[in-house]
Structure 1
Amino acid sequence: MNHTPRHQSATSLPRAPRDDASRRMAKYYIMMSVRVVCFVLMFVITPYGWYTWVLAVGAIFLPYLAVVIANVGQESRAPRATLPERQLPAGPSTPPATTPPPTVLRIHESDQKPPADS
């Protein structure tokens, strides 16, 4: 049995709860807006026909779908953590050749004054 520690990758962290809630609320409001449009068009469009029934089905069942979709949070589809070490390319198989250190030039200032030109 392999007991390697599972590291959390920053790229696989779930969405922040505030962002997740605002995204779900936006989906809910959009679906409820479509429901209101279906409800209004059901009475406005005349003569009544098959499309009236389609709009009525939308007005009746969209609230249920909106609630179900809005309640599906990030928890149910949380991504699995991806180890960042596995995503990095492998390094060179041979160690790089060692180079001698560069030559360092040191410059020292002296307190002597340069000779005056006459």
Structure 2
Amino acid sequence: MKTSSRAQSATSLPKAPRDDADSRFTKYMVMMGIRIACFIAMAVVTPYGWYTFVFAAGAIFLPYLAVIVANVGQDAPPTTAVAPERAITAPAAASPTPAAEEPLVIRIAESPRLAPGAKDRDARS
């Protein structure tokens, strides 16, 4: 598998799985609440007429629609992404002018570890 040397932007990442599951659960519960309201309206609203059949259809078909809506996750990537490569601007007097607007890169490297006896020899000299 080919790996990219570029860092992935946090704004281009998909929604967290836990947040996605929470939003799908909320949609499902709202639709089930509407279904319960349809059951109650079907029994309470009198005189019975054509709207009773509408409430019955809602009570019958909403569970199917709720499951379909709840199982659809977020597949679309976000439309805007911010590039992760940003340069920190240094004060003008403290650093030389970078050539061709290249970002200032600071690299940190550790010095090699000295042998245990070498530290004592350096201190005596």
Quote the residue 2:78 is aligned against.
Answer: 79
Bigger CA radius of gyration: 1
Residue 37 of structure 2: aligned partner: 37
Q: 1:6 to 1:49 in 2, by over 3 A?
A: farther
Map of 1:57 onto structure 2: 57
- Distance in structure 1 (CA, Å) of the matches to 2:64 and 2:81: 35
Show structure 1 runs of 5+ residues with no match: 89-97, 102-118
SS of residue in 1 equivalent to 2:20:
helix
Q: Distance in 2 between matches of 1:26 and 1:72?
A: 13
**C-alpha deviation, 1:79, in angstroms:** 3.1
Task: Tell me how many residue pairs correspond in the alignment.
Answer: 88
**Alignment TM-score, normalising by the size of structure 1:** 0.60
- Measure the CA separation in 2 of the matches of 1:10 and 1:21: 20
If asked which structure has higher relative contact order (CA below 8 Å, sep 6+), I would say: 1
Partner of 2:48: 48
Identity value in percent: 58
C-alpha distance in 1, partners of 2:10/2:64? 35
Q: Displacement of 1:5 after TM fit?
A: 6.8
Q: Which runs of 5+ in 2 are unaligned?
A: 87-91, 96-125
- CA RMSD, 1 decimal: 2.9
Q: Give the SS at the match of 1:84.
A: coil
Cα distance, 1:9 vs structure 2: 1.9
CA contact (8 A) 2:42 2:55 kept: yes
TM-score normalised according to structure 2 size: 0.57
Answer yes or no: is the 8 Å Cα contact 1:9–1:81 preserved in 2: no
Asked whether the equivalents of residues 31 and 66 of structure 2 are also in contact (C-alpha less than 8 Å), the reply is: yes
